[in-house]
């Protein structure tokens, strides 16, 4: 498969939205980046539609088409019937006039080819004794069956698509012409590439609109003939059925849109629960008018369906019907590379994800997979990473945080903007003599602590650092730091119990005071003795006084 959808790595923000919306989970993650798995992707374009960062890009063939035109060969457009919805009711004449200004030789409706395909479907039901027949106009549905449900290949109508039928007819009429299909579909680019030699290039409505804008070309409404062109119904849900006679006795005719609905129907067909049925299948909800380009930039299913229905005619186009062999198209099985792991491998990965018992399998889908087991299989196949599990990461982060808080020797207390206790660890509970956190959680901090400093930090935003305070109620000294977490608007207090240090400091001060008092008494006593025997001691008495004074000063300084 060519690189129809590419990824701008710098834009991918690891949000997993694309894998959540991918109906076949054909996206893998490595190094926090998304990668499309080519042999599993059905090119439905949902990842392109839902990506919030515009990380998915559709490969453009615009320059290729411009080269065709510059080469001077006739370049003929096959215009998908959904154009009337995308371009606000402009008909084929208006589109033809505008596109010829870009250099195209001529513009025709793909609905011409759709008429041929519809006729072939009716013939197959009438002549080929088909039990179940699935329409093959939608290339994404074809890829879905080829890649994921090969048991249903026998039910897929082996008929070329309207795009292929029409472009082949153009080349028969103008052998030197280059054909360019323009529509709302990503998958058509792959179909043109895979079945080479029929469609030379595919543009999306987005590419065409950008080109018209670049050349300052406006699509001006013109008079249109809407009497013919019943096949213009094709791009709406049930549009194929509207063009068919539906006269086969015993047959049920139904239309199914959306990949998930189509998957369920295909499973029922494989299981033998469906018989004598023609099923029109479309990958996009609303069919082609709900295509990825329409949905991304223009989508309004009701308005678009009304536009298509209003433009469709009551009669078929007058077409020359080729032989069945000329319309034949072979659909081969496209083998998957991923091998499913055994139960032991799945369980080993489940344990890595922190899922040790069924009750831990939340199946929340945040990783993009419907169940934890699906995610485990994807990890084993190299498509996903353990870290993609949001509950796992949350629990891991909380566990890590809780371990730090729980084992910290410092008391931690967290208050909200109403000064209500939101969290308190064991060290803090020990300081304020609380046995269980539940005794204070949710209550005002004033119940256990003076709220003055907390209120000051909350109102001013200025932190308090290493402030030593005495908690009289608890007969404890603490060194506290209080600060405001502005992002969460939480006031956080950290308390270090310094009661023992403070007690020792006060004890040392008391001893120092006692020593000074003793020194004073010794000095006084000595001075009295000195006065009595001054005449005997002389200078020796003065030296004794100086020495004792220095001792007293030294003790006082401590």
Q: What is the mean pLDDT of residues 50-74?
A: 92
**What contacts 24+ positions apart, CB below 8 Å, involve 294-299?**
294/82, 294/85, 294/86, 294/184, 294/205, 295/49, 296/48, 296/49, 296/206, 297/205, 297/206, 298/85, 298/86, 298/205
Same domain for 242 and 104: yes
Q: Name the helix (H) or strand (E) containing 35.
A: strand 33-36
Could you tell me if residue 123 is inside a domain? yes
Same domain for 424 and 345: no
Strand partners, 492: 414, 483
Which pLDDT band, with edges at 50, 70 and 90, does 11 fall under? Answer: confident
Structural domain count, the chain: 5
The whole-number pLDDT of residue 553 equals: 66
Measured in residues, the chain has a length of: 558
Could you tell me if residue 505 is inside a domain? no
The whole-number pLDDT of residue 545 equals: 64
CA distance 291 to 182: 13
Alpha helices in 16-91 (DSSP H): 17-21, 46-50, 62-70, 83-86
pTM above 0.75, yes or no: no
Same domain for 534 and 451: no
Same domain for 278 and 171: yes
**Three-state SS for 285?**
coil
State the CATH number of the domain containing residue 493.
3.30.450.20
Strand partners, 179: 76
The whole-number pLDDT of residue 140 equals: 97
Q: Which two tokens stand for residue 123?
A: 């013939």
Same domain for 275 and 192: yes
Range of 35's domain?
1-59
End-to-end Cα, the chain, rounded Å: 85
CA distance 253 to 280: 8
The whole-number pLDDT of residue 307 equals: 92
The whole-number pLDDT of residue 544 equals: 61
Same domain for 54 and 86: no
Name the one residue in this structure whose structure tokens are 């004033």.
Answer: 446
Q: Which two tokens stand for residue 343?
A: 């139960």
List of residues 6+ apart from 172 with CB closer than 8 A: none
Could you tell me if residue 504 is inside a domain? no
Mean pLDDT computed over every residue of the chain: 87
Q: Maximum CA pair distance of the chain?
A: 149
Q: Read off the pLDDT of residues 200-247 as tens digits, 9 standing for 90 and up.
A: 999 999 999 999 999 999 999 998 878 899 999 999 999 999 999 999
| Higher-scoring residue by pLDDT: 24, 343 | 24
Q: Read off the pLDDT of residues 162-199 as tens digits, 9 standing for 90 and up.
A: 999 999 999 999 999 999 999 999 999 999 999 999 99
Could you tell me if residue 333 is inside a domain? no
Could you tell me if residue 506 is inside a domain? no
Q: Which two tokens stand for residue 176?
A: 């030197």
Angle value at C-alpha 458, between 454 and 462, nearest 5 degrees = 95
Query: What are the DSSP E strand ranges found in 473-532?
Result: 476-485, 490-497
Please tell me the chain's helix, strand, coil percentages from 3-state DSSP, rounded to the nearest 5.
50, 15, 35
Residue 558 above 60 pLDDT? no
% of the chain surpassing 70 pLDDT: 89
State the CATH number of the domain containing residue 364.
1.10.15
Q: At what angle do helices 205-214 and 62-70 cross, to 10 degrees?
A: 60
Domain boundary among 258, 293, 327: 327
Could you tell me if residue 162 is inside a domain? yes
């Amino acid at each position: 498969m060519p690189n129809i959808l590419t990824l701008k790595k710098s834009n991918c923000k690891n949000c997993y939205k694309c894998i959540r919306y991918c109906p076949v989970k054909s996206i893998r993650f490595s190094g926090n980046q998304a990668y499309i798995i080519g042999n599993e992707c059905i090119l439905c374009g949902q990842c392109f539609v839902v990506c919030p960062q515009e990380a998915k890009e559709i490969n453009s063939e615009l320059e290729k088409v411009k080269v065709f035109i510059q080469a001077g060969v006739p370049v003929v457009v096959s215009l998908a019937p959904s154009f009337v919805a995308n371009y606000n009711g402009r008909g084929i004449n208006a589109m033809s006039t505008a596109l010829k200004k870009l250099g195209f030789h001529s513009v025709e409706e793909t609905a011409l080819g759709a008429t041929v395909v519809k006729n072939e479907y009716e013939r197959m039901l009438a002549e080929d004794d088909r039990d179940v027949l699935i329409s093959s106009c939608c290339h994404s549905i074809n890829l879905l069956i080829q890649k994921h449900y090969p048991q249903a290949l026998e039910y897929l109508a082996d008929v070329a698509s309207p795009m292929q039928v029409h472009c082949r007819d153009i080349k028969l009429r103008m052998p030197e012409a280059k054909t360019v299909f323009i529509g709302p579909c990503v998958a058509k680019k792959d179909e043109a590439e895979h079945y080479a030699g029929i469609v030379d290039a595919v543009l999306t409505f987005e590419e065409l609109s950008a080109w018209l804008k670049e050349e300052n070309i406006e699509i001006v409404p013109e008079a249109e003939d809407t009497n013919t062109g019943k096949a213009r119904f094709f791009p709406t849900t049930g549009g194929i059925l509207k063009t068919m006679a539906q006269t086969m006795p015993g047959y049920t005719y139904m239309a199914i849109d959306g990949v998930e609905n189509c998957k369920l129907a295909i499973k029922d067909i494989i299981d033998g629960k469906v018989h004598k049925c023609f099923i029109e299948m479309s990958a996009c909800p609303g069919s082609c008018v709900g295509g990825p380009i329409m949905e991304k930039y223009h989508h309004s299913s009701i308005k678009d369906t009304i536009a298509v229905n209003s433009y469709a005619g009551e009669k078929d186009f007058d077409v020359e019907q080729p032989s069945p062999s000329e319309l034949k198209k072979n659909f081969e099985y496209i083998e998957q590379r991923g091998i499913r792991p055994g139960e032991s491998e799945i369980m080993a990965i489940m344990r890595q994800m922190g899922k040790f018992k069924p009750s831990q399998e939340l199946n929340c889908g945040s990783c993009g997979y419907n169940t934890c087991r699906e995610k485990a299989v994807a990890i084993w196949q190299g498509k996903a990473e353990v870290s993609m599990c949001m509950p796992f990461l949350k629990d891991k982060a909380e566990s890590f945080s809780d371990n730090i808080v729980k084992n910290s020797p410092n008391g931690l207390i967290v208050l909200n903007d109403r000064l209500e206790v939101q969290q308190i660890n064991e060290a803090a509970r020990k300081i304020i003599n609380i046995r269980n956190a539940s005794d204070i959680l949710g209550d005002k901090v004033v119940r256990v602590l003076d709220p003055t400093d907390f209120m000051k930090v909350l109102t001013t935003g200025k932190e308090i650092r290493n402030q030593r305070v005495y908690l009289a109620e608890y007969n404890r000294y603490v060194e506290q730091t209080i600060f405001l977490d502005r992002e969460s608007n939480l006031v956080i207090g950290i308390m270090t119990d310094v009661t023992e240090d403070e007690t020792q400091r006060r004890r040392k001060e008391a001893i120092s005071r006692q020593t000074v008092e003793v020194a004073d008494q010794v000095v006084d006593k000595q001075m009295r003795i000195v006065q009595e025997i001054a005449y005997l001691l002389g200078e020796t008495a003065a030296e004794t006084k100086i020495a004792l004074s220095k001792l007293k000063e030294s003790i006082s300084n401590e």
